[in-house]
Amino acid sequence: METENQQKRNIIFHIRRFDPELDEVPRWQKFTVSVEPGMTVLDGLHHIKETQDASLSWRYSCRMGVCGSCAMLINGIPTLACNTQIMDVTSQKLTLAALPNFDIIRDLVPDLTPMFRDHVSIQPYIQRDDNKEMENPTREFFQTHDELEEYLQFTYCIKCGCCAAACPTMAADRKYMGPMPLAQAYRYNKDSRDGGQKDRNDVITASHGVFSCHYAGECSNVCPKGVDPARAIQHMKKDLVLGYLRLRKDKKPCQVVGIPTGESKPAIAAPEHTVK
Amino acid sequence: MKETGYWTWFIISGLITFFILGLHMLIVHLDGMLGIFSHADGGAVVWENVIQRSRSQFFSIAYIILLGAALYHGFYGLRTILLELGIGKQAQQRLTKFLWLTGILLFLVGTYVSLAVRTMEAPIL
């Protein structure tokens, strides 16, 4: 018991609050929380809400780094509150704010609507001409391991918005599409089953699209899932330039092959992280 | 597609600028050692040497290409900066047209100067 108490530490939470009905601009509020090892930032926020201020608002759902809801600015870095242990990032003071580059709905809740609107605009789903097969599949699509690896890491994106919050281009240009929708455009463009590349490219090559990226690379540095959006954007630029110069053939969606046997296939290992 | 074209030529003009400007820097700063392009005494920036280079076909073409590439590269960069201000679509089109016209005008002026030097009868001293 005594050891447990010795390990506990009082941490001051500086939280950027904003109530659109009361505040004209965001304000800072301090809370002191007794933190023990293993406590996450999300646990700390729950503790404040239960014991100190029930009006504190933030967004969360899964508590295990899967849903991406609890992304916020923790000590100046956009990351997930559920994935961040307080004692790993501070011994005295913790600063929390809503994700930058988004409007604030309330306290730590950013308005991610523009990001999701851009995400929808790139048509983030597999598009093919054979709708009949898509709706009532009778066979399997042929895809090699190498083809899968081309886009696999980008499927790990949880749409938390950390990349957009860290992006300096987004800070300067609020119309910029942002790393997440662009990386997802690359993910579907690279999928050998997909045939919607042309439509998608028309969207991403408009102004404030892929060519607005200045390659700061911060999106990849902060991604809590190890996705590398900067890599996707640069590869997409390269593909577009090669396509413009007619040095690359248009991709043809793969064909259906064989009838599913129901047998399990060997597992494919997760790709190596391209960001250290 | 239009933006892809702009970007592709931005990269190409950057590469052209890198090589021709590199050659220019090589001549201006290292020709004292190389002595290939400067026939008159006094180094690469002496008037006689400048005129002599400007009158050669190779340098005339190289400088006109450099002018075009540098103008395109610079104006594309300026356009990118200005577009980040969040101006409307119509303003974007007007801005693009304005930068194209300014670039072409400057290119024509520069090209005229480059060609005019070639037809001058005697060096201006």
Q: Check pLDDT > 90 for residue A199.
A: yes
Residue of B2, B4, B8 to mutate for A, most A C-beta atoms under 10 A = B4
* In chain A, where the domains are located: 8-111, 113-257
Work out the angle between the directed axes of helices B47-55 and B89-119 (0-180°, nearest 10).
Answer: 100
CA distances to A163, B14, B44, B64 from B71, rounded to whole Å, are 34, 10, 24, 11
Q: H/E/C letters for each residue in chain A? A: CHHHHHHCEEEEEEEEECCCCCCCCCEEEEEEEEECCCCEHHHHHHHHHHHCCCCCCCCCCCCCCCCCCCEEEECCEEEECCCCEHHHHCCCEEEEECCCCCEEEECCEEECHHHHHHHHHCCCCCCCCCHHHHHCCCCEECCCHHHHHHHHHHHHCCCCCHHHHHCHHHHHCCCCCCHHHHHHHHHHHCCCCCCCHHHHHHHHCCCCCHHHCCCCCHHHHHCCCCCCHHHHHHHHHHHHHHHHCCCCCCCCCCCEECCCCCCCCCCCCCCCCCCC
- Count of A-B CB contacts under 8 Å: 43
Strand A109-111 and strand A103-106: pairing? antiparallel
Domains (ranges, CATH) in chain B?
2-119 (1.20.1300.10)
Tokens 């659109």 label which residue?
A20
Q: What is the pLDDT of residues B83-97, one digit of tens each?
A: 988 888 899 999 999
Nearest beta carbon to residue B8 from set A208, A209, A245: A245
pLDDT confidence band for B43 (50 / 70 / 90): confident
Tokens of A200: 């998608």
A265 closest CA partner among A143, A132, A162: A143
Q: Check pLDDT > 90 for residue B111.
A: yes
Q: Check pLDDT > 60 for residue A261.
A: yes
Partners of residue A169 in chain B, C-beta under 8 Å: 84
A200 closest CA partner among A185, A179, A211: A185
CA distances to A17, A32, A49 from B22, rounded to whole Å, are 54, 60, 63
Nearest beta carbon to residue B4 from set A175, A212, A244: A244
Contact A241 B11 (CB under 8 A): yes
**Residue A202 C-alpha, separation from nearest chain B C-alpha, in angstroms:** 7
Which of the following CATH numbers is that of domain A113-257: 3.40.50.1400, 1.10.1060.10, 1.10.3720.10, 2.40.10.10?
1.10.1060.10
CA-based nearest residue in chain A for residue B82: A173
Distance of CA A6 to the CA centre of its chain: 37
pTM (whole model) above 0.95: no
Q: What is the pLDDT of residues A135-191, one digit of tens each?
A: 888 888 888 888 999 999 999 999 999 999 999 999 999 899 999 999 999 999 999
CA–CA separation, A126 and A189 (whole Å): 9
Q: Check pLDDT > 80 for residue B104.
A: yes
Partners of residue A237 in chain B, C-beta under 8 Å: 7
CA–CA separation, A144 and B33 (whole Å): 58
pLDDT confidence band for B124 (50 / 70 / 90): low
Q: Mean pLDDT over residues B42-59, rounded?
A: 83
Q: What is the pLDDT of residues A7-53, one digit of tens each?
A: 899 999 999 999 999 999 999 999 999 999 999 999 999 999 999 99
Helix or strand (DSSP H, E) at B2: helix B2-34
pLDDT confidence band for B40 (50 / 70 / 90): low
Do residues A254 and A129 lie in contact, with contact meaning Cβ atoms separated by under 8 Å?
no
Tokens of A33: 């929380």
Which pLDDT belongs to residue A3?
60
Which pLDDT belongs to residue A2?
53
Which pLDDT belongs to residue A155?
96
Do residues A241 and B7 lie in contact, with contact meaning Cβ atoms separated by under 8 Å?
yes
CATH of domain A8-111: 3.10.20.30
Do residues B26 and B35 lie in contact, with contact meaning Cβ atoms separated by under 8 Å?
no
Q: Check pLDDT > 60 for residue A54.
A: yes
CA–CA separation, B51 and B113 (whole Å): 12
**Residue B95 buriedness (CB in 10 A; 0-12 / 13-18 / 19+):** middle
Helix or strand (DSSP H, E) at B10: helix B2-34
